């Protein structure tokens, strides 16, 4: 990798293509999820090493509950297993873990493992890993709206208090905007991921399936990001 590249502050990854990766090999979709999870660990550690401060990973959408019960159960168990097995490494790397998404509908053991990880890492001050589970960008805006309406109703805020910063603070997490948004597997869509936060993100799409998305592939995304002229609607 070239030296002196600008490292994006906030990277988002839409983890996609696990199922196709497995099907191509004659394996069950679950095996693709297992491989994807192992790869996500590798990529997260790499981004941490590069100095990325915020990493948001989309691992289960509100719509993914439409999938077969067997696949959903496998994913839920995989989350619990990963949160437990990676705990020590997360601590050793000083990573703070937060979660975005609706907690309702998630099995109790998943919520407990999430709470444990969040609480134990809350004083870490390295990279923030935002894990998006049962996450939907639309639900996030709905939930934010309800929260803000309640604050207004209580008399805690007035209409003039509501601006972009205020909205951002009342989303699931108060994070800086996305700088680089990566989606693997060749799909060219957001699939309900962080619309608000992605307003000025640079998009990087690759046909590589997520289990095959290596550190070198991330380097390519980073080099591409460095070639982009980010204007934010201002300078010509
Ligand atoms: C991404 O892989 C993981 C989740 C959405 C949970 P997919 O399961 O969507 O894999 P494809 O898109 O079917 O290949
Ligand atoms: C988006 O992937 C959700 C996650 C990566 C968690 P999907 O595979 O669910 O998206 P669609 O169905 O192709 O839009
Ligand atoms: Mg998919």
d(CA 122, CA 124): 6
d(CA 77, CA 70): 11
Q: Is 4 a catalytic residue?
A: no
Domains and their CATH numbers in the chain: 10-137+177-227 (3.40.1180.10)
18 in contact with ligand 2, CB cutoff 6 A: no
100 in contact with ligand 1, CB cutoff 6 A: no
pLDDT in tens, 14-57: 999 999 999 999 999 999 999 999 999 999 999 999 999 999 99
C-alpha 8 – ligand 2 centre gap (Å): 24
The tokens describing 54, both together, are 């915020």
Q: Is 16 a catalytic residue?
A: yes
16 in contact with ligand 2, CB cutoff 6 A: yes
C-alpha 67 – ligand 3 centre gap (Å): 11
Q: Are 28 and 19 within 8 A, CB to CB?
A: no
Q: Is this prediction's pTM over 0.95?
A: yes
pLDDT in tens, 181-207: 999 999 999 999 999 999 999 999 999
The size of the chain, in residues, is: 236
């Amino acid at each position: 990798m070239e030296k002196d590249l600008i490292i994006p502050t906030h990277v988002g990854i839409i983890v996609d293509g696990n199922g196709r990766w497995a099907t191509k090999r004659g394996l069950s979709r679950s095996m693709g999820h297992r491989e994807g999870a192992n790869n996500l660990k590798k990529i997260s550690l790499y981004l941490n090493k590069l100095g990325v401060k915020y990493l948001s990973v989309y691992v289960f959408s509100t719509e993914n509950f439409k999938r077969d019960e067997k696949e959903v159960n496998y994913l839920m168990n995989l989350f619990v297993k990963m949160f437990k097995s990676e705990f020590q490494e997360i601590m050793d790397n000083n990573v703070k873990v937060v979660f975005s998404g609706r907690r309702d509908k998630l099995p109790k053991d998943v919520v407990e493992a999430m709470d444990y990880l969040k609480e134990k890492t809350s004083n870490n001050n390295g990279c923030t890993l935002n894990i998006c589970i049962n996450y939907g960008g639309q639900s996030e805006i709905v939930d934010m709206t309800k929260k803000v309406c309640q604050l207004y109703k209580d008399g805690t805020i007035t209409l003039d208090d509501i601006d972009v910063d205020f909205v951002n603070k009342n989303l699931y997490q108060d994070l800086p905007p996305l700088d680089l948004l990566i989606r693997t597997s060749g799909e060219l869509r957001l699939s309900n991921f962080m619309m608000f936060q992605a307003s000025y993100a640079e998009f990087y799409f690759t046909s590589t399936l997520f289990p095959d998305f290596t550190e070198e592939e991330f380097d390519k995304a980073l080099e591409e990001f460095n070639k982009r002229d980010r204007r934010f609607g201002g300078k010509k």
